[in-house]
Chains A and B, each alone.
Chain A
Amino acid sequence: MARVVVDPVTRIEGHLRIEAEVDAGVVRDAWSSSTMFRGIELILKGRDPRDAWAFTQRICGVCTTVHAVASIRAVENAIGAAPPPNARLLRNLIIGAQAVQDHVIHFYHLHALDWVDIVSALAADPAKTSSLAQSISDWPLSSPTYFAGIRDRVKGFVDRGQLGPFANAYWGHPAYRLPPEANLMAVAHYLEALDWQREVIKMHAVLGGKNPHLQSFLVGGMATPVDPDSQAALNAGTIAELQRLVAKARDFVTRVYIPDLVAVASFYKDWAGHGRGVGNYLAYGEYPNDDSAAPALFLPRGVIRGRDLAAVEPFDPAKVTEYVAHSWYQYQQGDGAALHPYQGETSPAYTGPTPPYDLLGLDSDTDKKYSWLKSPRYDGLPMEVGPLARMLVAYASGHARVKALVGAVLTRLGVGPEALFSTLGRVAARGIETQVLAEKMADWVDGLAANMAAGDLRIHDNSKWDPASWPAEAMGAGFHEAPRGALGHWVSIRNGAIDNYQCVVPSTWNAGPRDAKGQRGPYEEALIGTPVADLGRPVEILRTVHSFDPCMACGVHVVDGRRREVAHVRVR
């Protein structure tokens, strides 16, 4: 019998690679590279624009909803379809549930491992852990017996070598600062969050059918029937179930996530001084409050330059462009050009080293191409997108609830607003946004119930469904705030078929390479000045990269000042 070697099939949608140059324990320069071509645009050309969402929703494995939302909005914008109020409310709920679940998963299941030492939890005293937990929250799962049980469970997995998600981290690294009891509490909440997220995402099952991929999107509205008298539709029973799930989501966020966030952050306040980044922030805004063509948004749209919270600029879609000077693409008019997405071109031209390779061979003023991501710019400037951008734009725009929560967290940590422009600021902003959304979702459920009670069961505008009702040529843009930031789709339609399609995704804004002027992207800029205690275990670099919530698996390379590669780490 022949021996069969079985490798994992690498489910890569883009593998992020960071090369960092470290001198005297500090990052001096950094390069962010995506090693996989994404060319969804090429798949969509010639297809029916009403089907585009079903393809784009598979771009990102976990955010199944976000590309669907951006896509239907872009096509609706192009053909002039106007979704009715129930469709808006259902979409807001789907988007909100996605964001809340995603943020909590990020905190507990990805980012926490950069701050929490799971193995140290084995040394914790359950009684002291209980006192700690009860000092920060009235969450009922906090007895010494409960924490002793969690500790024994972790010990069992460690003893059997089944560490699973915790297997490959840097346990014992000096950069971990939590006492054992805080670590044990965090592990307990890691497991509770795993259980909790199943409940939250049930909102999607309620709104989008039993299939794990939502099937209920439709250009012009939604495909979910709303009818209080039908068992097969969104009805009074569904409303009650949504209310239950929303309450459960809010309860955990308020009583576990936020107290944990503040508790962990209080041990890492120096991280308010690291990871500053480009200091320009872009938010498309999200959660329309009305059904007009330019609706008021619950989280506002806007641009902040140079960390100036005194002035939020209005967003002008014409100012979005993409460079390919350092990206493995060609532009017809030359690679120094900056193209608006409507004129966007996706012509791959790989010039990098043949894999596998150790280093990309870059220096600070490199003119090489080194990433499959383009470099999006707004008015020529790199922009950070994501929860921090959204919360800063909301804060600076006077959003009452955001201002109150930001103020409360800053006060609890004893830091000023300037602390927001940092790695820790990104972590805090994500939590604050989760709280704001978990509170807001109940309003959208109530809105649906009120419409039903008033007899408004409309869910779809089918006046533009027939392509015969479209102009021969149409263009549209769809803007959405995905959990990790501003997402835009631009579609050009000719004779009923897609002529051009461009997606500018959050991780392209944040993880993109330098542009034609040599300006670093947000990841690259944020890493400058990051301390690295142990070149072989660069957990500090991960903290800053993960604070952006990258949508790609990440490998990190550390290079010392003499350009010798000293560490090549594939991370979790």
Chain B
Amino acid sequence: MSEERTPLLVLGLGNVLLEDDGVGAAAVSLLLDRYDVPPEARVLDGGTLGLSLLPCLEGADAVILVDAVRADLAPGTFVRLDGDAVPPAVAGRLSPHQVGVADLLDGARWLGRYPRRLVLVGLVPASMDLAVGLSPAVRASLPELVERIAGEARALGVVFRPKTAGTEPAVGPHVDVARLARGQP
């Protein structure tokens, strides 16, 4: 949550306790395992923090949101929304504190700090019941989602380079909830 401007923010969203709703966190975690984060990008698991994410969002010129997206498509299907299509897609969301992604985007807009480019990528969930870890359909599509995020970043002029083989993935102290969301204890 630093003051410096970031050309690109990749922000995973969702609740890791609600099965496929944790796909944003899981994707961010796998992205960090597979790629080195270039200096012009920040990669964060934003959970369901809503307005508290404003300091992260407003410092970014371009933002890639990563989230579960409900659609009339098979579970695990990749979905992409761009620019003005993003706010309506998150508008009906109810958050625990009634402050969610829609409020985050509204807040940035009202303060004149809306990102120049906004993209939402995600997967269609199979289940959002109370559980840690992803459903098989969403887990199977997770690597594709991560490659798509890297592709979106490239299109925005920010290149994530694959880690060299044998690099140990970064693991947080003791328990890493985002890794658990991927089904990897």
Contacts and interface: CB of A to CB of B under 8 A. Distances in A.
A8 B91 contact: yes
B182 to A, nearest CB: 15
B49 A212 contact: yes
Given A61-B48, A62-B52, A572-B98, A9 B17 contact: no
A97 to B, nearest CB: 11
A247 interface: no
B86 to A, nearest CB: 10
Contact of A13 (B54, B96, B109, B110): B96
Nearest to B71: A6
B111 interface: yes
Contacts of A153: 110
Contacts of B56: 212
B97 interface: yes
Interface in A502-561: 551-554
Interface string B37-64: 0000000111111111111101000000
A356 interface: no
A197 B107 CA distance: 11
Contacts of B91: 8
Contacts of A139: none
B95 A62 contact: yes
A234 B76 CA distance: 43
B68 interface: yes
B132 A43 contact: yes
A59 B17 contact: yes
A37 B21 contact: no
B75 interface: no
A309 B50 CA distance: 38
A561 B73 CA distance: 44
A344 interface: no
A305 interface: no
A164 B105 CA distance: 9
B164 interface: no
Contact of B15 (A15, A61, A554): A61
B59 to A, nearest CB: 10
B68 A551 contact: no
Interface stretch (A50-58, A291-299, A444-452, A470-478): A50-58
B175 interface: yes
B57 to A, nearest CB: 10
A525 to B, nearest CB: 23
Given A8-B89, A8-B92, A191-B111, A61 B71 contact: no
Nearest to B1: A205
A135 interface: no
A549 to B, nearest CB: 9
B1 A5 contact: no
Contacts of B72: 4-5
A143 interface: no
B174 A50 contact: yes
The listed residue with most A CB atoms (<10 A of its CB), out of B45, B49, B96, is B96
Interface string B66-105: 0111111100000101000000011111111111111100
A198 interface: yes
A347 B107 CA distance: 40
B134 interface: no
A157 B110 contact: yes
Interface in A150-166: 153, 157, 162, 164-165
A164 B110 contact: yes
A269 B110 CA distance: 31
B172 interface: yes
A136 interface: no
A202 B1 contact: yes
Interface string A6-49: 11111111110000000000000000000001111011000010
Interface of A: 4-15, 37-40, 42-43, 48, 50-51, 54-55, 58-64, 101, 105, 109-110, 153, 157, 162, 164-165, 191, 194-195, 197-198, 201-202, 205, 210-213, 215, 218, 223, 551-554, 572
> Which 4 pairs show the lowest CB-CB distances between chains A and B?
A61-B48, A164-B106, A553-B94, A8-B92
10 contacts: A6-B81, A9-B68, A9-B128, A13-B18, A50-B174, A62-B96, A191-B110, A201-B52, A212-B46, A212-B56
